[in-house]
Amino acid sequence: MSMVVVGSVALDTVKTPFGEAADALGGSCSYSTVAARRFAEPVSMVAVVGEDFPADHVAFFDERGVDTSGLVRTPGRTFRWGGEYGFDLNTRETLFTELNVFAEFKPELSSGAQDCDYLFLANIDPTLQRAVLDQTRKPRMVVMDTMNFWIDGARDSLLETIARVDVLLLNDEETRMLTGEANLIRAARKVLELGPRVVIVKKGEHGALVFSREFTFSAPAYPVELIYDPTGAGDSFAGGFLGYLAQSEDCWDPGAIRRAVIYGTVMASFTVEAFSLDGLAQATRPQVEERFARIREMANF
């Protein structure tokens, strides 16, 4: 089954207590497609880069089997983001955001992408997310991500998009912000009333909570002992989640959704163990299964 991701490809400059990386490959579309490709095929990116985007990075995607035909190169510089993490890696300060060519991003799906079975709308302007939805024919499952910036600044547009997707990803802070409800369980139930069939609340080191009308699932985090760089964890989670479902027999089976959340958790755990996409790229399929089994053992009682 085919999967498409619409999002950003960026050059990230990241400082953490363990070191720093300048102009390293990043962006939601990069993390999520590489994570998804461990499970599904074909996986296609829809994104934009500038003239300065290194050919090596395109080769990196190609070598990992990600379809880059929808990665458009336009005049100008690539989207750049800079951030610094505090000592416990739970706080992040954005040092700079240079949108560059991303400012004019108007995602256009190829004929093949319009027919995709699985769609991940990574964190971009909710109006653009709807413009993408308008181009699709009949995807089996649409997953969307967002951020506090849109909850604060484009609430009505965001709610309109949320009403049209199947699965919404939020972190705990965003869940409370979107609903004005301090209790996370009640907040998540309120989000369900906005339209999505499934709401996934990502809690970082505390795992994730999954809510649907049919079931509630509490997923543990993988016990990562050395977090080098949390950047891309959420997108790796999304890619692993939807990539696993894209190759499963029935993407709406609650058991499959639960397992997909664990595979998403596993992919995120590899990402945070290194800078950029290094951790994700190095993880082998047996290592993925090993971590899945480890989480199962940890959650068993």
**Which residues of the shown chain bind its own copies in the complex (CB under 8 A)?**
87-89, 176, 182-186, 189, 203, 205-207, 215-221, 223-227, 255, 258-259, 261-262, 295-301
Task: Please identify, using beta-carbon distances, which residue of 122 and 262 lies nearer to its own copies.
Answer: 262
Instruction: Compute the least distance from the CB of residue 216 to its own copies, in Å.
Output: 5
Task: Please identify, using beta-carbon distances, which residue of 69 and 218 lies nearer to its own copies.
Answer: 218
218-252 burial, b if ≥16 CB within 10 A, otherwise e? ebebbebeebbbbbbbbbbbbbbbbbbbbebeebe
Instruction: Compute the least distance from the CB of residue 185 to its own copies, in Å.
Output: 4
CA distance 108 to 141: 19
Instruction: Compute the least distance from the CB of residue 278 to its own copies, in Å.
Output: 19
Task: Please identify, using beta-carbon distances, which residue of 5 and 260 lies nearer to its own copies.
Answer: 260
Cis peptide upstream of residue 286 (ω within 30 degrees of 0): no
Phi, psi of 200 (to 5 degrees): -115, 120
CA distance 2 to 65: 13
Instruction: Compute the least distance from the CB of residue 87 to its own copies, in Å.
Output: 6
Instruction: Compute the least distance from the CB of residue 206 to its own copies, in Å.
Output: 4
Task: Please identify, using beta-carbon distances, which residue of 97 and 287 lies nearer to its own copies.
Answer: 287
Instruction: Compute the least distance from the CB of residue 19 to its own copies, in Å.
Output: 16
Q: Report CA torsion sign: 39, 57, 233, 46.
A: negative
- Region class of 300: left (phi > 0), else alpha (psi between -120 and 50), else beta: beta
Identify which of 219, 271, 216 has the alpha carbon closest to the alpha carbon of residue 240: 271
Q: Give the single-character DSSP code of 40.
A: -
Instruction: Compute the least distance from the CB of residue 183 to its own copies, in Å.
Output: 6
Quote the tokens at residue 226: 């050395």
Task: Please identify, using beta-carbon distances, which residue of 68 and 175 lies nearer to its own copies.
Answer: 175
The answer to whether 44 and 67 have CB atoms below 8 angstroms apart is: yes
Q: Where are the beta strands (DSSP E) in the chain?
A: 3-6, 10-16, 19-26, 43-49, 71-73, 80-85, 92-98, 118-121, 141-145, 167-171, 198-202, 208-212, 216-219
Task: Please identify, using beta-carbon distances, which residue of 140 and 258 lies nearer to its own copies.
Answer: 258
